[in-house]
Chains A and B, each alone.
Chain A
Amino acid sequence: EPEVTQTPSHQVTQMGQEVILRCVPISNHLYFYWYRQILGQKVEFLVSFYNNEISEKSEIFDDQFSVERPDGSNFTLKIRSTKLEDSAMYFCASCFGLAGSASTDTQYFGPGTRLTVL
């Protein structure tokens, strides 16, 4: 069964450094998402991406963050100048999205990347 994959599973970085989190969505999916979960808290939406542009973003997704689909398979989240409070589990998700039905709108999540900022 196709699945969303993410690399690395765990990233440790120093405060102020830049990190790139990588995701490979399910191959025929058209919509891509990043969510984050700070330890013990809710899963929060960051950004959605469709047709090579951001379709929606939350107030968390400020200028420190950017997303890119550099090729036909990868979807990346870049965090510039990381802060301690960026430490969280980052989840990538994808869905097919066309036709607006339950099955095509269902988002499938990757296993997450745990980011630790020291």
Chain B
Amino acid sequence: GEDVEQSLFLSVREGDSSVINCTYTDSSSTYLYWYKQEPGAGLQLLTYIFSNMDMKQDQRLTVLLNKKDKHLSLRIADTQTGDSAIYFCAEKVAGTASKLTFGTGTRLQVTL
């Protein structure tokens, strides 16, 4: 079955880069997603990567995928206080519009 794991907490200084890591188990994952959850709010889609890609860049966000090791990372360049939130990775296995399996979430704290 699917299982997705993340480290629970990351603290960085404003202006530094943040790297949030995720591991997953299902080799049939087709898409992998990053969602952001601010306190008391819903899940905001940040970016996604198709499983046959190694890297995707979207402004300050860089997603790296190592399919062999089933490892996904999200790098946020020039981290700002507004980036403080919980970041969830999620995998979607093959099949149209199939469910997402979420990781435990990583709480990112940005300090001045």
What is the interface size of chain A, counting residues whose CB is below 8 A from a CB of the partner? 29
Cross-chain contact A42 with B104 (CB below 8 angstroms): yes
Residues of A within 8 A of B92 (CB): 105
**Chain B contact residues: over half helix, strand or loop, or mixed?**
strand
What is the interface size of chain B, counting residues whose CB is below 8 A from a CB of the partner? 23
Cross-chain contact A45 with B96 (CB below 8 angstroms): no
Cross-chain contact A42 with B105 (CB below 8 angstroms): yes
> What are 15 A-B interface contacts by the 8 Å CB criterion?
A35-B100, A43-B88, A43-B102, A43-B105, A45-B100, A50-B97, A56-B98, A58-B99, A91-B42, A91-B43, A100-B96, A109-B35, A109-B44, A111-B41, A112-B41
Residues of A within 8 A of B90 (CB): 43
Interface residue? A25 (CB, 8 A): no
Interface residue? A108 (CB, 8 A): yes
Cross-chain contact B100 with A107 (CB below 8 angstroms): yes
